[in-house]
Amino acid sequence: MTTIYQKTRGLQDTELHYCPGCSHGIVHKLIAEVLEEMDGLDTAIGICPVGCAVFAGNYFSFDTIEAAHGRAPAVATAIKRLHPDQPVFTYQGDGDLASIGAGEIVHAAMRGEKFTTIFINNAIYGMTGGQMAPTTLIGQRATTAPGGRTAEQAGMPMRVAEMLSTLDGLIYAERVCVTDIPNLTKAKRAIKKAFELQKAGKGFTFVEILASCPTNWGMETLEANQWLMENMAAYYPLGVIKEVREDA
């Protein structure tokens, strides 16, 4: 008996440009599946700023808009306020969100803007050649830290989900990864929950996804996934970081 896999309508039949082993394509699929299951493909709007996923609009079948580096939350704020009944999300990497866009994401969370942010944390600047990011781990090498990051020179890596969770406007934050099937299931569940809370008009929702970057890490795919679980997940613990419950 032959099993036929039905591809989500949320993705176009376009070949991905991402490097082998990159997590972006997997996350694209999860977002597309969630929006299809929620009947949101006809109205969803994604905002993709500068980074490896700058061309994400070539792959999603729904509307996407490009934003200047780090400014996706500001664009999403305007779009969501103009179209409050449509699912709106930003799709941002760690260099974009935690560095040049740190002010934007903090103030969007502080205001409780009613959109969702999908935050891809691969602990490196991917598109521009592997420079150290705010999320690069201590000891991890980068083109701008060939000897490995040190706390004395660059400070400690930024835990974005925990930082934003101190703000009242953020009502849900969860950190997940996509290294294997059980974690894929958890990641999809977190993304769906974020969109459901957005649909209910509850406030700002945030899903951080630990992702691998084999090319800039200088690793093979399986090695990168193992390194992620042993090192990144140790410093960036998986699970719900914050959830505001009405019955609490």
Question: Reduced to 3 states, what is the DSSP secondary structure of residue 7?
Answer: coil
Model pLDDT, residue 170: 98
Q: Rounded to the nearest 10 degrees, how much is the dihedral formed by the CA atoms of 6, 11, 14, 16?
A: -100
Please state whether the predicted TM-score (pTM) of the whole model is above 0.75.
yes
Burial per residue of 151-180, b for 16 or more beta-carbon CB atoms within 10 angstroms, e otherwise: eeebeebbbbbebbbebebbbbbbbbbbbe
Q: Which two tokens stand for residue 55?
A: 């061309």
**Average model confidence (pLDDT) across the chain:** 94
Q: Rounded to the nearest 10 degrees, how much is the dihedral formed by the CA atoms of 196, 200, 202, 208?
A: 10
Q: How far is CA 191 from CA 35, 131, 147, 187, 248, in A?
A: 9, 28, 36, 6, 22
- Tell me the domain boundaries of the chain: 24-243
Model pLDDT, residue 5: 54
Tens-place pLDDT, residues 140-190: 999 999 999 999 999 999 999 999 999 999 999 999 999 999 999 999 999
CATH superfamily of 24-243: Thiamin diphosphate (ThDP)-binding fold, Pyr/PP domains (3.40.50.970)
Does residue 131 surpass a pLDDT of 70? yes
Tens-place pLDDT, residues 29-57: 999 999 999 999 999 999 999 888 888 99
Does residue 201 surpass a pLDDT of 70? yes
Summarize the confidence of residues 64-85 as an average pLDDT: 96
Q: For residues 117 and 217, what is the distance between their CA atoms, to the nearest angstrom?
A: 25
